[in-house]
Chains A and B, each alone.
Chain A
Amino acid sequence: MVEERFVQGNEACALGAIAANCRFFAGYPITPSTEIAEQMSILLPKYGGSFVQMEDEIASAGAIIGASWSGMKAMTATSGPGISLMQENIGYGFITETPIVIINVQRGSPSTGQPTMSAQADMMQVRWGSHGDYEPIALAPSSVQEFFDFTIKAFNLAEEYRVPVTVLADEVVGHMREKLIIPDDIEIVTRKRPEKVDGQYLPFDAPCDGTTPMPAFGDGFNIHVTGLTHDERGYPDTNDPDTHTKLVERLCNKVLMHRKDICSVKKENCDDADIVIVSCGSPYRSVGAAMKKAREEGIKVGSLKIDTPWPFPEEEIAEIAKTASDIIVPEMNLGQIVHEVERAAHGEANVHLIGKIGGILHKPDEIYDKIKEING
């Protein structure tokens, strides 16, 4: 039965995790994500799940990876300083191909910054924050409903590709209250498990863009999992350039070569648009009103909302750049995603940033004013 509720974004995230069959949460209190931990501590015991408040965010990231290898769907939630602390273990998640979900409710930064104010200043950190080459998957919700939906989707993608997936929310989405519709037919992806213990299974043997099934510890496969560069058996092999190249290229390819299946954008009025507003996460909330006002004045404005900043929807942006003359990128930072838009546009459209920091979401008129300025 479809259920309707009026909830806070962070609560919707916790409900989404439970719906996705997440039964393990480890976390550490930090504003503005704390309500997710609080909700999980209430909900998990009711579903037979396990909640642990860890001693810090480093431990939280470690614990969810350990739980994932025990066979659980596992999640943590944090913000600002907490996500910085988690970076090393997130990198470990990439090289060991461990499905985990990390919720980052972004806040004003750098450092302790603005704990109670909103920002999108971690767009590049989720991309490059841990050392090394890797290809992350991230989803950016712009509403309470999306926070619920994208949390489920994050678990599905994590299981499908055996990768850490981040939900890049922000304080606005985390703390606002809106209607949430919980559908009765939620699709979830279960983990592919190797079939039998016959000595043939190799835990890290896959085609150049693929993943292998993943057993749980205790299933009898006696696997070795390490953050060192490893061969297909999982054994360290740190001095052979070929082993390293093969491993890391595959880790990247399994996301990049499935970009079309992973990427999601929402296009409105783009077909005839001269100006397209490319947004991601909360700023999308102000795009509609600005677009409507401009359209009423006869200015052909469209909107492209990026659901998945990573992997970046290159083709979709390139396509827009071919037909539109100008692209406006409103983001709650001093310019991060705008550089990716510029790169994908290949100089075919003028790209304009509306970078806003301080913690307050763009007002529709700030976007509208930019449209007017461009339209001349």
Chain B
Amino acid sequence: MVEKESPYKKYLREERLPHIFCPGCGNGTVMSTFFKGLEGTDIDFENVAMVSGIGCSSRIPGYAKCDSLHTTHGRALSFATGLKVGNPDLDVVVFTGDGDAASIGGNHLIHAARRNINLTVICINNNIYGMTGGQISPTSPKGSFGTTAPYGSRDMPFNLAELVSAAGASYVARWTTTHPLQLSKAIQKGLENDGFSFIEVVSQCPTYFGRKNKMKTPLQMFEWIKENSINKRRAEKMDEAELEGKIIVGEFANNPHAELTDNIKKLAEENSDKPLAIKSAFEELD
């Protein structure tokens, strides 16, 4: 008998539902789009290991029915690097947010991209620190309000997709929660790419970003994101003034090149007559 429930629920730890996300939070949508993207690949869900840092988006792995490592703030990519290098056969996926990846974890982000390590990073960018109650983040738009920017943010925000592309990632895309089909496709491509894949998802935080910025309901935020999204190809023909406040969506990099764990494996093959060591902790000495 087929259970009459969401087709994405089977991937979740049912005993932990409903999840902690606020009503209308985009995190749940990103979870489903991830599973849809995964279904488009040959990857076995049993072989997926998720890693995350701290923040609302980093709670996602805790709901997925696979091995998951919920680590320290900003450091998910360091843990993921160890996990992937330790066992390159695992499909390692990192869920992170704008504060986690771009602020406290910014250095790890650019270095993981530089190494082109085969990880799929899904960065849910809601332009605010949600878990701590609405502080301004490194991607908050200029002029937006947060509890630590009561007069409006005057800082220049990061353009994450551009940043990570410049750092050397081999696949980079940006979509929003209002583009779930395009987003699933980008996640699928990211999972299939043999290198560092970064998918930025602009998402709504109605509870904090919305409330502080005159968009009190999830739908108002949802509509705001939808209306301001512009496809990259169209954006390329527009000038800076026209692009002010717009969310450029599309593919930013698709440039497969040498990958870290392959390089390590080759180095071991050139220097040793043994296969690459994995799971050495369980191994008895000869």
Q: Residues of A with Cβ closer than 8 Å to B? A: 21-24, 26, 44-52, 54-56, 58-74, 88-89, 92, 99, 159, 186, 188, 190-191, 193, 216-218, 220-228, 235-236
Contacts and interface: CB of A to CB of B under 8 A. Distances in A.
A59 B67 CA distance: 21
Nearest to A197: B46
A49 B83 CA distance: 14
A-B complex: 10 closest residue pairs judged by Cβ atoms: A66-B82, A70-B86, A62-B78, A71-B279, A63-B82, A67-B86, A67-B82, A59-B78, A66-B79, A66-B83
A220 B46 contact: yes
B22 interface: no
Contacts of A223: 67-68
B280 to A, nearest CB: 4
Contact of A88 (B51, B72, B81, B108): B72
Interface size class of B (residues with CB under 8 A): 35 or more
Contact of B82 (A26, A190, A236): A26
Interface in B48-91: 49, 51, 61-62, 65-72, 75, 77-87, 89-90
A60 B79 CA distance: 9
Nearest to B283: A21
Given A46-B272, A49-B277, A191-B282, A56 B86 contact: no
Contacts of A227: 70-72
Contacts of A48: 268, 272, 274-277
Contacts of A61: 78
A21 B285 contact: yes
Given A62-B78, A216-B279, A228 B70 contact: yes
A47 B85 contact: no
A218 B90 contact: yes
Nearest to B47: A218
18 contacts: A21-B281, A45-B271, A47-B274, A48-B277, A50-B86, A59-B111, A62-B75, A63-B81, A66-B51, A69-B86, A70-B86, A71-B280, A71-B282, A73-B280, A92-B72, A216-B87, A218-B90, A221-B67
A190 B214 CA distance: 58
B264 interface: yes
B85 A24 contact: yes
B280 A236 contact: no
Interface of B: 13, 16, 46-47, 49, 51, 61-62, 65-72, 75, 77-87, 89-90, 107-108, 111, 260, 264, 267-268, 270-272, 274-285
Given A24-B280, A48-B277, A72-B87, 17 more contacts: A21-B285, A24-B82, A59-B75, A59-B78, A62-B78, A62-B81, A63-B79, A63-B82, A66-B78, A66-B80, A67-B82, A70-B90, A72-B281, A73-B281, A217-B83, A218-B87, A225-B70
B82 A70 contact: yes
Contacts of A23: 277, 280
Nearest to B265: A50
Contacts of B61: 224
Nearest to B58: A226
A52 B85 contact: yes
Contacts of A24: 82, 85-86, 280
Contacts of A47: 272, 274, 277
A328 B71 CA distance: 43
B81 A70 contact: no
Contacts of A159: 281
Contacts of A65: 71, 79, 82
Nearest to A21: B280
A228 B58 CA distance: 12
A221 B61 CA distance: 15
Contacts of B81: 26, 52, 54, 59, 62-63, 66
Most buried by A among B16, B65, B279, B284: B279
A195 to B, nearest CB: 12
A129 B70 CA distance: 22
B276 A50 contact: yes
Contacts of A218: 47, 49, 67, 87, 89-90
Contact of B85 (A22, A45, A50, A99): A50
Contacts of A226: 62, 70
A188 B285 contact: yes
A218 B86 CA distance: 12
A63 B278 contact: no
Given A46-B271, A48-B275, A56-B107, A217 B69 contact: yes
Nearest to A61: B78
B272 A50 contact: no
Contacts of B51: 66
Contacts of A54: 78, 81, 111
A47 B279 CA distance: 13
Contacts of B270: 45
Nearest to B111: A55
Contacts of B276: 48, 50
Contacts of B65: 222
A99 B281 contact: yes
Contacts of A55: 107-108, 111
A236 B61 CA distance: 12
A287 B57 CA distance: 56
Nearest to A99: B281
A69 B83 contact: yes
Interface centre among B84, B111, B260, B271 (most CB of A within 10 A): B271
Contacts of B85: 24, 50, 52, 63, 67, 70
